[in-house]
Amino acid sequence: MQLDYDSLLENYKILQSKERYLEIINSFSLGLMDLNTSEEIVWGITKQVIARMGFEDCVIYLLEEEKGLLIQKAAHGPKNPFQLNIKNPITIPLGKGIVGTVALTGQAEIIADTSKDSRYIVDDEQRLSEIAVPIIYQNKVIGVIDSENSKVNFFTNEHLKILKTVAVMGASKIINAKIKEELKEYRFGLEKLVKQKTSELNQLVSKLQKSNIDLESFAYAASHDLQEPLRTIISYLQLIERRENNFSSETSEYFRFVIKGAKRMNLLLQGLLDYSRVNDLDTDEVVIINMNDIFILIKDNLKEAIQRSEGQILIGDLSEIKGNKTQIIQLFQNIISNALKFRRPEVSPVVKVYSKILDNYIEFKVEDNGIGIDPKFHDNIFGLFSRLNPIDSFKGSGIGLALCKRIVEYHQGEISVGSSTEGGTCFYIRLPRG
């Protein structure tokens, strides 16, 4: 058989070139393996291009899409005086020059003689040939690998083939790293924002707590200290009233008004004092409370009012709760005494108390057959000094329900009001289960 020396040589050359290609690509992928940030990756690529392919320089541009600009991100060769620095980095608008065209069209180009290509932009110095390969990720150009050479016709199709493979390998690595960097930045920003907002919130809470404490101690001091001179005023007024017997009937009447006003003021101050004391109690005073026992006590405390109104207090089988005993008595005594007080004329008050278990809470329902509360006032009757009826028809200072709400909140419970089926009032109170 005749041995075709030429075709053997040709085949040998092809195989040699394939081997070189694979060797270069292999060393590229090994070299890029440990690089993580996008900056490390682009610098890594330019360094490898020079080392493996014997180019004079290699520059990577990345596209800033919003600005439509290609920015030099890495440059090995004369443009890289030391470490990761680029001497006079340039930016190229998309579509401008050879690099800009390649980025716009997504087509790689070899320029055999740059002196004959009007698009050529001189960067650091004029060189006679150029190769520019787009870096494409998911059909979008994200940058360009570019190299120039001082000789005409330097770049070959083999160079092009290798650079195209390098661009494909680099693209996903760059995008991956960029996404990670953006995510990191985003997470960092988010954490910073959360920290800042939390600290602002904490500051606000402590400011509020402080102003609350200040207000409470002011209310306490004011109501406590005002009681003393008021008591003196009341006792001297009563003394004068008793001693003085030549008052005209008109003056006597004025005097009675004055005493009545002073006594009412005393009652208001006492109510305010109770109100401001709610948060003073220690949490260790919280105990398991048998609510049936509590209502026996309340009924005894309100014995007179019950008899006077010929009322009935009907108590169901009540569940145990966890709470502060003094406050719980105050709470339900206020609700029951309201139910007795705000009764319909000629109708004996009947108050029913039930309880039911709701997960970790016990819900109490206190229902009466009294005058009821117009639903439009259901939300504001828990405010301090809110009263719906003239003082002459129903006595009171308008502190009772505000105190009840404060006690319930102190126990992390809830209180609300509704109408009973008989047109009376119905209070719902949730307290922690015992």
Ligand X SMILES: Nc1ncnc2c1ncn2[C@@H]1O[C@H](COP(=O)(O)OP(=O)(O)OP(=O)(O)O)[C@@H](O)[C@H]1O
Distance CA 117, CA 100 (A): 14
In the bound state with ligand X, the residue whose beta carbon lies nearer, of 164 and 387, is: 387
Residue 432 binding target from Mg ion, ligand X, none, CB below 5 to 8 Å by type:
none
Does 338 engage in binding with Mg ion (CB under 5 A)? yes
In the bound state with ligand X, the residue whose beta carbon lies nearer, of 321 and 381, is: 381
Residue nearest to ligand X (CB): 400
Shortest gap between Cβ of 329 and Mg ion (angstroms)?
14
In the bound state with ligand X, the residue whose beta carbon lies nearer, of 165 and 301, is: 301
Residue 342 binding target from Mg ion, ligand X, none, CB below 5 to 8 Å by type:
ligand X
In the bound state with ligand X, the residue whose beta carbon lies nearer, of 104 and 315, is: 315
Q: What is the DSSP string of 201-216?
A: HHHHHHHHHHHHHHHH
DSSP annotation of 69 reads E
Shortest gap between Cβ of 240 and ligand X (angstroms)?
28
Residue nearest to Mg ion (CB): 400
Shortest gap between Cβ of 323 and ligand X (angstroms)?
20
Q: Which residues pair with 72 in a beta bridge?
A: 61
Shortest gap between Cβ of 222 and ligand X (angstroms)?
17
Out of 400, 402, 407, 408, name the contact with Mg ion by CB under 5 A.
400
Hey, what are 163's tokens?
Answer: 């650079």
Distance CA 145, CA 264 (A): 91
Distance CA 156, CA 116 (A): 18
Q: Which residues pair with 148 in a beta bridge?
A: 130
Q: What is the residue type of 46?
A: T
Residue 248 C-beta-side C-alpha neighbours within 13 Å: 3
Shortest gap between Cβ of 231 and ligand X (angstroms)?
19
Give kind and range of the element (H or E) at residue 337: helix 325-341
Distance CA 364, CA 354 (A): 6
The one segment of 211-219, 236-244, 303-311, 396-404 that binds Mg ion by CB under 5 A:
396-404
Does 114 engage in binding with Mg ion (CB under 5 A)? no
Distances (CA, A) of 24 to 55, 157, 194, 415: 13, 15, 48, 78
Contacting residues toward ligand X, per CB under 6 A: 271, 334, 338-339, 342, 368, 370-373, 381, 386-389, 396-402, 425
Residue 397 binding target from Mg ion, ligand X, none, CB below 5 to 8 Å by type:
ligand X
